[in-house]
A and B are shown apart, each in its own frame.
With several copies, the nearest count.
Chain A
């Protein structure tokens, strides 16, 4: 199992660069800047400085005793990325990319966003490093994540609602790519997950690996041994890749949890479970698509998982069997969110709730004496309105 892609950014048969020629030189420049930076102790120190003093890293690894007790199975530990400044793991990546942008002499940022967390994280670093910023967001997501739209605006970022296609994350990425093609000279496109053309998947995973590195030493310190299982939600796959990567060579099981939306046989966003390899947004990877290669609209209550693609490294991990990919419906996620909220007082993001739901199931299955580390990728403030709508609509239901 190779843990790094080849020079062209290929993770086995996945990854690569499938973008208009116009962008290739920018990707070359980025790749060079990234490689140099990662070998430059000044850059690494700077990254560490902002992670520690601004984001608040290391994030806690919290032993969820009350939840564990309630479930009566394996010990559950939560990696609290929700406590990061701006409220999700996304900032780990945007700080890294902003520092690279400065290194490349660029001074404008664009980004796409689904849940708005990556948009907020990008807007935040844009403010911090005094860069101009525009964020593309599907019009549907603008509606369901209005809190984050306002946050971006207050941070001085322009939010552009994208009306094309399913008006969600996929279309925001299309539009961001188009905007980047038109501005590539002075603008860096801050991709928010381990997706897109090389070097993004590797670069984003590298910046997010701080999650797994910390979790690894924290769990060793807390329990004296490695965990039995890691669980993380998979949208593009960055929080999962960040948690998993530092454990790849260990005897640790891993589950990535995709959004099953209304069910795998209805509208969902379970790319690895129900898609097949294809090319979307610059890389070869699993894609939700029809027989003729048209991209399907994904569906998840959780805007951050509502994406028909996935990072190429996950496709490799799926094919190799290193990581198992499960899925979780809207309803299961909502009910896990409420259960966590009401046993631990932790209101997590809907995205993260998918991981929590799977962790609860696995805790039962594994039984006591085992340990599970769950990536709590973000906090739920952004989701309360959407949750409210969902609960209103399912009042009679089994939630």
Chain B
């Protein structure tokens, strides 16, 4: 079933002539219950897929917002059991496909990825696993039919993009990094993002989702004609931090705005 889930997300969005919207939340921030509640709010706002981040001590691809969220979760003792609990609950309550974003070392520490599958995860995003490493983790994920989402960056050469196109797991999409930098909100979408999307489109058949720095509806509109989906993390987490107890309502509205802005 997982195999078709991601594919159908993009198929449905394409049919609606809009981008798939994929909000990102850190498991356990501000609490297990809140993460689940916020995921439900995303779903209510029209999100197509939920990404859950496994809090990690050394998130090298993340900017201050997600670093802080990870740290808050870790400080509250969010560990493997709690992350699995969040994944299970989010899947169950939202009914949406769930992707797990985790740095490699956390996954390497699991003898068995089965529990992820059991929790309903339908794919893995591993920010420190580039194409070059045919690391054992790929084999293990593939055995469970868990696609590993590849990244493309403005610095990726055409040759590399072609290689991504050739080697991408069935049912995966490409995570297109919109800028040179780590996660975190940016004023506007960079030219680099559009260039990358264009080059990727020519070389990759799989859907393209844009992430890193997408701050809100304007950014979504800016890429709506060039991509198939957007990933929004820091902007969402900043919003939750700002809103406190009223976060769920605000998140639902924000996601709805993103979905709206994603129409072509």
A-B interaction: yes
Interface residues of A (CB under 8 A from B): 8, 16-26, 164-165, 170-171, 174, 177-178, 181-185, 277-282, 284, 287, 289, 291-295
Contacts A181-B180, A284-B135 supplied; 5 other A-B pairs, CB < 8 Å: A8-B133, A18-B128, A19-B128, A174-B60, A178-B61
Interface of B is mostly: loop
Tell whether, in the assembled complex, residue A293 and residue B156 are in contact, meaning their CB atoms are under 8 Å apart: no
Please indicate the chain A residues that have their CB under 8 angstroms from the CB of B103 in the complex. 279
Q: Closest residue to A28 on the B side, CB-wise?
A: B157
CB-CB < 8 A to B107: which residues of A? 293
Residue of B57, B71, B106 most packed against chain A (CB within 10 A) = B57
**In the complex, which residues of chain B have a beta carbon less than 8 angstroms from the beta carbon of A23?**
130, 155
A295 lies within 8 A of B105 (CB): yes
For the complex of A and B, 9 pairs with smallest distance between CB atoms: A293-B109, A21-B151, A182-B181, A22-B153, A293-B106, A293-B105, A295-B57, A21-B153, A25-B155
Residues of B near A165 (CB, < 8 A) are: 57-58
Q: Which residue of A lies closest to B153 (CB)?
A: A22
B182 touches A178 (CB 8 A): yes
* Chain A residues, CB < 8 A from B251: none
Chain A residues lying within 8 Å of B153, measured Cβ to Cβ, are 20-22, 24
User: A360 vs B177: C-alpha distance in the bound complex, in angstroms?
Assistant: 50
Residue ID in chain A nearest B154 by CB atoms: A22
B61 touches A181 (CB 8 A): yes
The CA of A171 and the CA of B157, in the complex, are separated in Å by: 30
**Complex Cα spacing A182 to B152, Å:** 15
CB-defined interface of B49-80 with A at 8 Å, one 1/0 digit per residue?
00000001111111100010001001000011
List residues of chain A with CB within 8 A of the CB of B135: 16, 18, 284
Q: How far, in whole Å, are A171 and B58 apart by their CA atoms in the complex?
A: 7
The answer to whether B180 and A183 touch across the interface, beta carbons within 8 angstroms, is yes
- Contact between B130 and A24, CB atoms less than 8 A apart: yes
Tell me if A280 and B105 are in contact (CB < 8 A): yes
In the bound complex, CA of A278 to CA of B160 (Å): 26
**Count of chain B residues near A, Cβ 8 A:** 42
Known A-B contacts A22-B153, A25-B155, A281-B60; A185 and B133 likewise in contact (beta carbons under 8 Å):
no
Kindly identify, within residues 123 to 140 of chain B, every residue whose CB is under 8 Å from any CB belonging to chain A.
Answer: 127-133, 135
* A-side interface mostly: mixed
CB distance from A106 to the nearest CB of B (A): 14
Q: CA separation between A338 and B21, bound complex, in Å?
A: 54
Complex Cα gap A195–B171 (Å)? 35
The interface residues of chain B lying within 8 Å CB-to-CB of A22 are 151, 153-156, 177, 180
Q: Are B155 and A170 in contact (CB under 8 A)?
A: no
Closest to A24 in B: B130
List residues of chain B with CB within 8 A of the CB of A182.
Answer: 180-182
The distance from the CB of A312 to the nearest CB of chain B, in whole angstroms, is 13
A205 to B24, CA, bound (A): 40
Known interface pairs A293-B106, A293-B107; A24-B131 also in contact (CB < 8 Å): yes
Question: How would residues 84 to 109 of chain B score, 1 for a CB under 8 Å from any chain A CB and 0 otherwise?
Answer: 00000000000000000001111111
> How far is it, in angstroms, between the C-alpha of A177 and the C-alpha of B128 when the chains are bound?
11
A184 engages B106 (CB within 8 Å)? no
A292 to B80: give the CA distance in the assembly, Å. 7
Q: Which of B71, B110, B153, B155 has the most C-beta atoms of chain A within 10 angstroms of its own C-beta?
A: B155
**Assembly CA distance A183 to B67 (angstroms):** 20
Specify the chain B residue showing the minimal Cβ separation from A171: B58
> B143-201: which residues lie under 8 A (CB-CB) from chain A?
150-157, 160, 177, 180-182
Q: Could you tell me if B108 and A294 are in contact, using CB atoms closer than 8 angstroms?
A: no
A177 nearest in chain B by CB position:
B60
Asked whether, in the complex, the Cβ of B105 is within 8 Å of the Cβ of A289, the reply is yes
Contact B180 A292 (CB under 8 A): no
User: Given the complex of chains A and B, what is the CA–CA distance between A174 and B182 in angstroms?
Assistant: 11
Q: Contact at B155–A26, with CB atoms within 8 Å?
A: yes
Are A24 and B105 in contact (CB-based, < 8 A)? Answer: no
- Complex CA–CA separation, A8 to B131 (angstroms): 12
Taken together as a complex, chains A and B put the C-alpha atoms of A231 and B61 apart, in Å, by: 36
Of all chain B residues, which has the CB nearest A18? Answer: B128
